Structure 1
Amino acid sequence: MAAHQSTEWRTVCEKFRLAQELSEIESRKDPENNPFRSKYKARDLLKEIHCSLVKIHIEEEEEGEDDNEADGGSMQIAEGEPGNECGKTCTGDSPAGLRAARLAVLQYYLGVNHIETEELSAGEQHLMNCMKLIDKCTTTRENVSLFIQARNQLGILWAGRDEIEKAQGFLEIAESMYLLYMKEDGQPPLDLQDYFVSEGEELSQQEKIRRFEMAYTHTLYYLAQVYKNLEQYERSGQYCHSTLQRQLEYKQFVPLEWAINAATLSQYYITKTRYMEARHCLAAASVIATLAGEIPSEAAAKESDAECEKREELLQKRAEIARCWIKYCLNLMQDAKKLLEDNIGELDLDRQEELKRARQNEEEEKEKGRKSAILFGSSDTFDSICSLEEKISSMLPLDFEEARSIFLVGQSYVAQAKEYFAMDGHVTDHIEILQDHSALFKVLAFFEQDLERRCKMHKRRVDLLEPICKDLNAQYYLLICRQLQFELAESYYEMMDLKLAVADKQDQPDVHTIKKFNNLCSSSMKYYQMFLDSIRSPEGKFPEKLEDEVLRPALVAKFRVARLQSKLISNNLATQLENLNHSLESYSFIVQYCEENPEAKKAVETELELSNEMVSLLPLKINRIRSNMASCN
């Protein structure tokens, strides 16, 4: 290249560097009323570079023609005009290929620039121009990164337009290009910025590798979103996991963002009962979140807006991770309960022993085989992640002690989550955390064989939820109020059943026991009735046809109220008669509703069967009491 061209080339490179700086750094400082100021300046520079480049390439071609003539015409220039010089046989390192690649890089950056300034059609056009310039070239070390990044951008563009399958096509080609290149070559490829640097300013091999791997990580990340939108959840989970692994490996992550993504992935694994993977994601999330630094004190937050913002973000994200841990503990225990319960919902001791024997032989080997594929971390964080994993099992608990150890971990995360999601300012989140805490007590009670201790666990549920339920305004939080009312009714109902089981073991329950039992029945009925009343119209009328979301809860509430009314203990025959009449009325409501609405039968098959029995039996019992009352008179 001639001297004047060298000077011109240095000017081109300087303009390119400035355009990158404007786009990536200065744009962050742009005012709200002119948010794209730096992007527009960068665009103007890129256009100037394009004009200079075409001029330089024309001069290079002319020099090439002169040299060719001097050599007797032995050299043939690839066909094409400036800006579209890439012929079918060119390679990335040929003169024609290099010219095409440089112009393609400019088209790429112009495309990205237009997309970032919300001019999507123009952005698409530039990216397609980039593709046309290089698509006929052989994939080489010089252009593979550009091939992948152009397709990444087009994938994002089409995904943003909800053309998911079109986005999938671009991204899957980018993925296959990377895999093929790594198989056939694997050397550090040229980075996009390498096309516009003066001699001696090239990127290091290590930096080239980092940038290339970052481009491929982005491919995997976008594919994860695409597969999620296509409801291919298994593939999406795999790509999310690979993305997170690579981000750590190549140190391409923002700690809090990475931690939240890992914690979110854990929730997918939970739905698939893959608790080892879920635990690993959560342990990594907790460890990586600490890399974001210490939480500023309240005093520091009051003195500085930046410190206040940092404190808020750190507290929130760590509380969100704590909530994911709560879900892990709760689901692990609930899945164990499903596996261990008999047909009436009690612990099946034979099944428990069978599963314990099977686990000794199988579970540990199975875990070893899967572990190597899911590991996160570097030498700096790996030990911390493993240490945190050791504090909680990833295997289903099979007895009370195992369940209790998981419960205690879950309870500690409840305390952490409540620190940020306080009732003042985070009503819905705070109540959801309390509901999860209540659910932890409920499932722990399943593993407890001592009836009195089980009863106390349900009492803890009441203590958690009852104050909130009393204070909450049903006008603004109707759905939450209904959930709390039903759960409180259920908690008292469980306690009533347990007290009944204890009383059955006694020859004759004392007055205190009877009073306690009746109070539990009344409390349960009160909350079931509150739930049922919430379904009534403003005029107080119960709906003739129940909405799908309240159908089963409403009929179950009616069924349990009927049972509770029949269980109330009284020595007074008139009171007994009144209670049984109320019970018969509630059972009859269920039977009549299902006759009038046959589609409801499936929702309450067991309750309907028992209600039909009681509608037949209760009148006999009522008549006997009436006879006794008549004889007494």
Structure 2
Amino acid sequence: MAGSLGPEIQEKFQAALALSRVELHKNPEKEPYKSKYSARALLEEVRALLGPAPEDDDERAADDGPGDQALGAAEPRDAEGPGEQRALRLAVIEFHLGVNHIDTEELSAGEEHLVRCLSLLRPFRLSLGCVSLYIQAQNNLGILWSEREEIETARSYLESSEALYNQYMKEIGSPPLDPTEHFLPEEERLTEQERSKRFEKVYTHNLYYLAQVYQHMEMFEKAAHYCHSTLKRQLEHNAYHPLEWAINAATLSQFYINKLCFMEARHCLSAANVIFGQTGKIPATEDNPEAEGDVPELYHQRKGEIARCWIKYCLTLLQNAQLSMQDNIGELDVDKQSELRALRKKELDEEESIRKRAVQFGTGELCDAISAVEEKVRYLRPLDFEEARELFLLGQHYVSEAKEFFQIDGYVTDHIEVVQDHSALFKVLAFFETDMERRCKMHKRRIAMLEPLIVDLNPQYYLLVNRQIQFEIAHTYYDMMDLKVAIADKLRDPDSHIVKKINSLNKSALKYYQLFLDSLRDPNKVFPEHIGEDVLRPAMLAKFRVARLYGRIITSDPKKELENLATSLEHYRFIVDYCDTHPEAAQEIEVELELSKEMVSLLPTKMERFRAKMALT
């Protein structure tokens, strides 16, 4: 096959490949592309030595767009004659020139070379010597158009590659030549096994790029399917970087979590843990350059990111369980709990095993290692405190792991999100707790972790985050106050200590709701006539809860109680009046609006009776 090639061409081509692989940081600082330019010069010399391209194929290049790379063009034929062999070798050079120009950020020139490569190969694209190169050229054009945000064009190239691979495997099936073999002497040609490995890697890249394109197009089901296929193939062909593979598997888990497919999500996260554990333990190769100690910063970052994916798993599973068992005021409904217990016993093992097989990564020892991690983590919704606590503790473990990297100094937003998730874990665990005092202690832990955050934050730069935390702290104090009132109601004669505690919690809730509401004011401290859509519901809820809080302050001073009732009425009226003039607000707080209307109707009468009573004393 390469017999007609002189040693000069072979040597120049191999030298060009070697220069192309030189990492950018190994070039002089002022000439980052020095090795790329040297490689390009050698490739152009090889092209000149090979001679001009066949005219008929050059002319065809101008006529074909990405749609013509589909499989309905002219009938493919084998590249056997000297002219065909020359066209094929020229296509290899055009491909490498295309990649070279793209690597040096000369995208238009890169595109021209890749299109010329496809044009030269088109008549032979389904042949043993061409199919791999043809798919690689289309993959690169797909990436190029994707970076230009021309996603439909990118999709066309990549889907054409996928179709060509499938057709080749169906009709021919034997491992095709790797493009580099066209410049190797006969005795240096690759083995069938190596050819197959390289061709499968090309197809795996194709699936990976398709996953990105479908994600960009918000075709999330398809994107997840292609991402899963990519990860599975990378393991099967032992062609993966542990850090990269692990973070991609963990990221895929988030798709399954959002779809409430917790078994699939658990499998992805368990696999991520196992593969992440390989980092630094396997020898460095072309496919796996990550030797121990090479990327400590990236290692710790990825570890933190995977931990955050685990936190979301635990939190979402707990929250989903809460939603399925709570009544209309957010408390545990024991009847629903009993129904779910009965349903769990009827769950079909057969369906579970089918789903497991569909999602399973790895074989043999790797599969066993992943299963060992999975078995320690539940995927069914917890139905009582003990089951919920098990998930909570796992989530809390990963909170600690995530905070090791995402610290407040340097990763402010990420750190706060981790702390907020930690707070949310305590909140949902409290739902399962039947002892009110212990529930109070859980909420107290939330306050202890949230309050220090706003001390350190500059409200000018972190306004939205500040608002989120202020609202969450306010609501936590509000929940604690409700719990203390419920505890007091069970006592025959609440002592002054519990009354003082209720008022203290009330005061703290009012403080943080007011801080939140004050953050909505303009620079002149005026509250907006029109509240922005992004804060409309929390603003209305804050107003409603402030109204309720003033109505629940315990005082023995009649004058003070009347003042509190007047303030409460003022806030209820604000809600009713605002919803009258802004109908969109009424849709956001239907329940609270009805209660506010009721209180606007009842409170004036109550206040009049109170005044009359005061006049008599």
TM-score normalized by the length of structure 1: 0.90
Q: Does 1:169 align with 2:166?
A: no
Which has the higher mean CA deviation after the structures are superposed, 472-481 or 34-43?
472-481
Q: Does 1:110 align with 2:107?
A: no
Question: Does structure 2 conserve the Cα–Cα contact (< 8 Å) formed by 1:92 and 1:98?
Answer: yes
2:508 to 520, 523, 532: 523
Distance 2:257 2:530 in 1: 36
1:464 to 435, 445, 449: 449
Question: Does structure 2 conserve the Cα–Cα contact (< 8 Å) formed by 1:84 and 1:100?
Answer: no
Question: Does structure 1 conserve the Cα–Cα contact (< 8 Å) formed by 2:544 and 2:572?
Answer: yes
Instruction: Show the counterpart of 1:619.
Output: 604
Question: Could you tell me which amino acid in structure 2 is paired with residue 209 of structure 1?
Answer: S
Q: Summarize deviations over 1:272-306 as a string: whole Å, max 9, x none.
A: 11111211111121222222238xxxxxxxxxxx9
Cα 1:158–1:210 shift into 2, 3 Å: same
Question: Does structure 1 conserve the Cα–Cα contact (< 8 Å) formed by 2:280 and 2:293?
Answer: no
Question: Could you tell me which amino acid in structure 1 is paired with residue 86 of structure 2?
Answer: R
Question: Could you tell me which amino acid in structure 1 is paired with residue 14 of structure 2?
Answer: R
2:488 to 503, 508, 518: 503
Cα 1:89–1:23 shift into 2, 3 Å: closer
Instruction: Show the counterpart of 1:67.
Output: none
Cα 1:377–1:28 shift into 2, 3 Å: farther
- Alignment map for 1:220-619 (pairs within 5 Å): 220-293=207-280, 310-362=295-347, 364-619=349-604
Instruction: Show the counterpart of 2:34.
Output: 37
Q: Does 1:137 align with 2:124?
A: yes
Q: Does 1:200 align with 2:165?
A: no
Cα 1:270–1:88 shift into 2, 3 Å: closer
Distance 2:22 2:411 in 1: 36
Question: Does structure 1 conserve the Cα–Cα contact (< 8 Å) formed by 2:58 and 2:119?
Answer: no
Question: Could you tell me which amino acid in structure 1 is paired with residue 362 of structure 2?
Answer: G
Question: Does structure 1 conserve the Cα–Cα contact (< 8 Å) formed by 2:60 and 2:119?
Answer: no
Question: Does structure 2 conserve the Cα–Cα contact (< 8 Å) formed by 1:265 and 1:281?
Answer: yes
Which has the higher mean CA deviation after the structures are superposed, 284-293 or 215-224?
284-293
- Alignment map for 1:82-97 (pairs within 5 Å): 90-97=77-84
- TM-fit CA distance, 1:567: 0.8
Distance 2:521 2:145 in 1: 48
Instruction: Show the counterpart of 1:70.
Output: none
- Alignment map for 1:203-222 (pairs within 5 Å): 203-222=190-209
Which has the higher mean CA deviation after the structures are superposed, 106-115 or 81-90?
81-90
Instruction: Show the counterpart of 2:71.
Output: none
- What secondary structure sits across from 2:188 in the alignment? coil
Question: Could you tell me which amino acid in structure 1 is paired with residue 452 of structure 2?
Answer: P
Cα 1:587–1:80 shift into 2, 3 Å: closer
Distance 2:194 2:354 in 1: 35
- TM-fit CA distance, 1:51: 2.0
Cα 1:241–1:307 shift into 2, 3 Å: closer
Question: Does structure 1 conserve the Cα–Cα contact (< 8 Å) formed by 2:280 and 2:292?
Answer: no
Distance 1:26 1:131 in 2: 27
Question: Does structure 1 conserve the Cα–Cα contact (< 8 Å) formed by 2:550 and 2:565?
Answer: yes
Question: Could you tell me which amino acid in structure 1 is paired with residue 566 of structure 2?
Answer: N
Question: Does structure 1 conserve the Cα–Cα contact (< 8 Å) formed by 2:311 and 2:421?
Answer: yes
Distance 1:238 1:189 in 2: 26
Question: Could you tell me which amino acid in structure 1 is paired with residue 304 of structure 2?
Answer: A
- TM-fit CA distance, 1:185: 2.1
Question: Could you tell me which amino acid in structure 1 is paired with residue 313 of structure 2?
Answer: Y
Distance 2:358 2:616 in 1: 80
Distance 1:139 1:594 in 2: 67
2:14 to 6, 13, 17: 17
Q: Summarize deviations over 1:320-346 as a string: whole Å, max 9, x none.
A: 111111111111111111111122211
Cα 1:121–1:472 shift into 2, 3 Å: closer
- What secondary structure sits across from 1:541 in the alignment? coil
Distance 2:4 2:87 in 1: 21
- Alignment map for 1:118-137 (pairs within 5 Å): 118-137=105-124
Distance 1:185 1:491 in 2: 66
Distance 2:292 2:381 in 1: 42
- TM-fit CA distance, 1:380: 4.9
- TM-fit CA distance, 1:95: 3.9
Q: Summarize deviations over 1:353-412 as a string: whole Å, max 9, x none.
A: 112211221254332111112122354533322211112111121221111111000000
Cα 1:567–1:350 shift into 2, 3 Å: same
Instruction: Show the counterpart of 1:158.
Output: 145
Cα 1:575–1:152 shift into 2, 3 Å: same
Cα 1:367–1:581 shift into 2, 3 Å: same
Which has the higher mean CA deviation after the structures are superposed, 218-227 or 352-361?
352-361
- What secondary structure sits across from 2:377 in the alignment? coil
Question: Could you tell me which amino acid in structure 2 is paired with residue 25 of structure 1?
Answer: V
- TM-fit CA distance, 1:37: 1.2
- TM-fit CA distance, 1:307: 9.0
- What secondary structure sits across from 2:51 in the alignment? helix
Question: Does structure 2 conserve the Cα–Cα contact (< 8 Å) formed by 1:85 and 1:100?
Answer: no
Distance 1:102 1:472 in 2: 62
Distance 2:3 2:209 in 1: 40
Q: Summarize deviations over 1:415-439 as a string: whole Å, max 9, x none.
A: 1111122223322222111110000
Question: Does structure 1 conserve the Cα–Cα contact (< 8 Å) formed by 2:129 and 2:179?
Answer: no
Question: Does structure 2 conserve the Cα–Cα contact (< 8 Å) formed by 1:85 and 1:96?
Answer: no
- What secondary structure sits across from 2:346 in the alignment? helix
Cα 1:81–1:272 shift into 2, 3 Å: closer
Question: Does structure 2 conserve the Cα–Cα contact (< 8 Å) formed by 1:90 and 1:96?
Answer: no
Instruction: Show the counterpart of 2:69.
Output: none
Question: Could you tell me which amino acid in structure 2 is paired with residue 496 of structure 1?
Answer: M
Distance 1:33 1:205 in 2: 43
Cα 1:309–1:105 shift into 2, 3 Å: closer
Instruction: Show the counterpart of 2:286.
Output: none
- What secondary structure sits across from 1:253 in the alignment? coil
Distance 1:89 1:445 in 2: 67
TM-score normalized by the length of structure 2: 0.92
- What secondary structure sits across from 2:295 in the alignment? helix
Distance 2:424 2:399 in 1: 12
Q: Give aligned pairs, total.
A: 596
- TM-fit CA distance, 1:82: 9.5
- What secondary structure sits across from 1:628 in the alignment? helix
Distance 1:494 1:93 in 2: 80
Question: Does structure 2 conserve the Cα–Cα contact (< 8 Å) formed by 1:10 and 1:198?
Answer: no
Query: Aligned Cα RMSD in Å?
Result: 2.3
